[in-house]
Amino acid sequence: MKAVTQLFGTLLCVLAFASVAAANPAPEQTAVGDKSVPAYWLKRMASGFREQDYDGILVANRGSDMRSMRIVHLVKDGREHERLQYLDGEPVEVIRANHPTDCVHAGGQLIMGGATGGLLAGVGRGGNFDFTGLYRLKLGGSTHVAMRPVQVLSVIPEDSYRYKHRLYLDKASGILLKSEVLDSNERVLETSQFIQIAIGQEVDPEAAEINSDKALHENYHSLPLNSSEPGESSWQLAWLPKGFMQASHHRHRMEDLNKMVQSQHFTDGITLFSVFVEKTDSAIEPFEVRTGSTLAYWVPKKIGQQWMSVTVVGEIPIQTAVKLTDHMKPVSAVAVSKK
């Protein structure tokens, strides 16, 4: 179940990015019905994801791990209601209810920025996006997903610190029906796609009703704003890839191991990664574990006589994770650079 949750979380992250980006397009790209520019499809994707009813089966494939879930999304009186039903392994239902459709999440706030327009300040004429050197958008061809015609839209990174995304948008509704994550060699690392879906009036209004007394009620805000000031952390990153900002920071005690763990979470609006720091009693060799596009990289660091373990988890290449761990320093030694 955890693997499917992570994959679906990636899908939601991309959709949240589209929702905010479409709400703040450059003035020259707001022409109604201009299908030749990416902004048109961003706007369609945003409204389709947040404002329409849909009921479908999503299959998530990351490497050798394939999982599936049913997703029901309904909008009632301007508020979103979702039911996620995991179809593999132990039956689990997750309910997300009563969420306003105009809410902006932490990642969205990073994209929006301030009065300068955030990352969208670099949008040029004619559909040429550069997102201030982070990503550019490129329209592809047409194909079919779940027997529905789709428009392909690529989100291409401008550096080697993040992955490429290829999105397949339903031409009739704008809903994202398929998402691929690709490495620098165009190899598909993981895929999430609907294999069947009902949209709009085809959706049963009672489909989101809870069927189990064990259903989990989850908050939409998977990335809360900072729970504490950055200065309260004893460890900070002295380097971040351009465009990444801290979305949250937590300190908590692992009661079973009786140790404190610090976790910091970062996003550029599309890509997410987390860094965990804790004390350890030994120093083993660094190691990595990868599932699809998600990497977990562990490395020991010694400060004085104390060994610390630093773990980076996220949808990022190994070179990004290595550089991040190399730049995890005590707060007193940090002067953050972004390149």
Residues 2-31 have a mean pLDDT of: 42
Class of the domain covering 2-217: mainly beta
Residue 38: strand, helix, or coil: helix
Please give the mean pLDDT across all residues of the chain: 75
CA dist., res. 22 & res. 44, Å (int): 8
Check whether 321 has a pLDDT greater than 50: yes
Of residues 301 and 113, more confidence is placed in 301
**Which tokens sit at 197?**
């879906």
Check whether 77 has a pLDDT greater than 80: yes
pLDDT band of 227, cuts 50, 70, 90: very low
The CATH number of the structural domain formed by 230-338 is 3.30.200.100
Check whether 317 has a pLDDT greater than 90: yes
Check whether 68 has a pLDDT greater than 70: yes
pLDDT score, position 334: 54
Residues 241-254 have a mean pLDDT of: 77
Highest mean pLDDT: which range of 151-165, 255-269, 297-311: 151-165
Of residues 258 and 312, more confidence is placed in 312
pLDDT score, position 56: 94
pLDDT score, position 54: 94
Taking only the tens place, the pLDDT of each residue in 80-127 is: 888 888 898 887 888 777 666 555 443 333 333 333 333 333 333 333
HSE value, Cβ hemisphere, 13 Å, CA-based, for 220 = 22
Check whether 309 has a pLDDT greater than 60: yes
pLDDT score, position 335: 55
Where in the chain are all domains bearing CATH 2.50.20.10? Answer: 2-217
CB neighbour list of residue 337: distance below 8 Å, 6 or more residues apart: 238, 239, 240
Question: With helix as H, strand as E and coil as C, how does 100-112 read?
Answer: ECCCCCHHHHHHH
Taking only the tens place, the pLDDT of each residue in 120-170 is: 333 333 334 446 688 888 999 999 999 999 999 998 999 999 999 999 999
pLDDT band of 257, cuts 50, 70, 90: low
Contact 223, 246 (CB under 8 A): no
Where in the chain are all domains bearing CATH 3.30.200.100? Answer: 230-338
**Which tokens sit at 77?**
């009186």
pLDDT score, position 59: 93
Region label for 15, one of left (φ > 0), alpha (ψ between -120 and 50) or beta (otherwise) = alpha
Check whether 251 has a pLDDT greater than 60: yes
* Model confidence, pTM: 0.76
CB neighbour list of residue 305: distance below 8 Å, 6 or more residues apart: none
Burial class of residue 280 in the structure, from the number of CB atoms within 10 Å of its CB (0-12 exposed, 13-18 middle, 19+ buried): middle
Of residues 136 and 235, more confidence is placed in 136
pLDDT score, position 318: 96
Check whether 183 has a pLDDT greater than 70: yes
pLDDT score, position 101: 58
Residues of the chain with pLDDT > 90, as a percent, come to: 30
Residues 73-78 have a mean pLDDT of: 86
